[in-house]
Amino acid sequence: MSEKTVWCDKLRKSLTSKNVEEKENRPFEAKELPPDHHDKVDSSAQINSSVFSNFSSPVSDIFDSQTFRIFVSTWNVGGNSPGAGLNLNEFLPLDDGSDIYVLGFQEIVPLNAGNVFVSEDNEPASKWLDLIDQALNRPLGSTVDSSQSSSSSYSTNKTFRRDQTVQLKACNCPSKVKKKSYRKACFSCRFSYDFDSDDGEPEKGEDETSSLDDNEVVLTMKLNNRRRYSYIVSKQMVGIFITIWAKKELVRHLSHLQISCVGRGIMGRLGNKGCISVSMSLHQTSFCFICCHLASGEKEGDELRRNSDVRKISKNTHFQRICKNHHRINPKKILDHERVIWLGDLNYRISLSYLETKRLLEQNDWDALLEKDQLRIERESGRVFNGWKEGKIYFAPTYKYSNNSDSYSGENVTSKSKRRTPAWCDRILWHGNGIAQLFYIRGESKLSDHRPVFAGFSVDVEVLDDRFRKEISASNMKVGVEELLPNLNNIFS
């Protein structure tokens, strides 16, 4: 018997048992009443029956597939805060029309001993958030530069300024839960902007439930009626920073948000290198976004260190599997998610000499350069990112540029020890079905020695059919729909 058949039988039995239970609790049977009263007494039975009308294919009837656009960017800003005159219009195009923005940064602060060993500086992250807010919610036809940025309205620590609130669901599961179970839910951390541990536990002395009700977690942010995009989350680990924004009408469909950090820097543990991973659900589809900064170096064999970083990140990144609906199992590892996007300064280099690379650059011979691209070589050999995809690269290497210049740094350096061979360090990859890349380009900001890289994706998302959800709710079922659903990974594979 197939899994779909078993699932359908389970759903039928659950609804049937519910209907039988209701009939047994009635003081008399419907057949004892006059015919004109039958419809009133058997209304719940009719509702239960209607759930199974045209129910030959459970998955196709329960879920609709909708397409959404996701804009993804990665930028190593070289420890530079956004200065006067920085224009974000190229970085966040107003006419892109994406539903979700996933923006990753590396070296958002200088990677000095103070930031690595003592305490990280959150002020640059606040400035970036303020600029991003202005860029995404600016009036049509206007431009945004950093000189327009006021004092920051955002903070990545617990003293976040509470101007107004928008509510983000902790769980999209339809079933009811008791409030006492909330401490084990995926939002037990009160959805703070700065997660202090991978397991999402709150800091000592925090009130875990003070701002929660049974179904929602409070997300605080600056709001006005003209906003098109809402801030969802941000997280900083030393120089690595990721923030996610979504159209405000999508906020109520986002849930199960969790964060995991893996340090791969000094001693293989500190956060000057490593990744921040964000897990979340959009409707009934799980997503994971990984923003990373891998080991640097262009010596022979350094690519193996980067391979090791990827393996350790994949192994050590984990999310809680407990949802407020205990019948639902959330993705625990990166590849447990249905749609995954990996972005960042992966630091893979070109295995050619500086002079040979420069010659091919002058000829715009991207194909010859890409044949020596370490990431391409390591992927094709199966040593890293096996099963992942990357779009075709049609842009020049994004590293390393001279400050505030369009020239690669090696052109102005006489010392070979300080010379860096140009390379495509900044990359965006994806994994999973139902995801297609729309574009893969680079920006031209001269803020740092890296150029930003952008990608657009079209993703298919499974949405619970409104008719099914309403009928289930009307039948007053005691069982949640996630309890009845089969493993979607098995169904859609």
Q: Where are the alpha helices (DSSP H) in 317-398?
A: 354-362, 366-371, 374-380
Query: What integer pLDDT is reported at residue 213 of this predicted model?
Result: 34
Domains of the chain, residue spans: 3-61+464-492, 78-462
- The residues near 267 (Cβ < 8 Å, ≥ 6 apart) are none
Q: Where are the alpha helices (DSSP H) in 52-177?
A: 58-62, 113, 123-136
pLDDT tens digits, residue range 197-246? 333 333 333 332 222 233 333 344 444 557 899 999 999 999 999 999 99
At the second CATH level, the architecture of 78-462 is: 4-Layer Sandwich (3.60)
Q: What is the rounded distance in angstroms from the CA atom of residue 122 to the CA atom of residue 131?
A: 15
Q: Are 159 and 126 in contact (CB under 8 A)?
A: no
Residues 337-359 have a mean pLDDT of 96
pLDDT tens digits, residue range 482-491? 444 444 444 4
Q: What is the pTM of this model?
A: 0.75
pLDDT tens digits, residue range 121-150? 899 999 999 999 989 998 766 666 655 555
* Antiparallel, parallel or unpaired: β 274-282 and 285-293: antiparallel
Residues 261-284 have a mean pLDDT of 94
Q: What is the rounded distance in angstroms from the CA atom of residue 360 to the CA atom of residue 160?
A: 49
| Window from 8-12, 52-56, 237-241, 309-313 with minimum mean pLDDT | 52-56
Query: What integer pLDDT is reported at residue 91 of this predicted model?
Result: 75
Query: What integer pLDDT is reported at residue 411 of this predicted model?
Result: 73
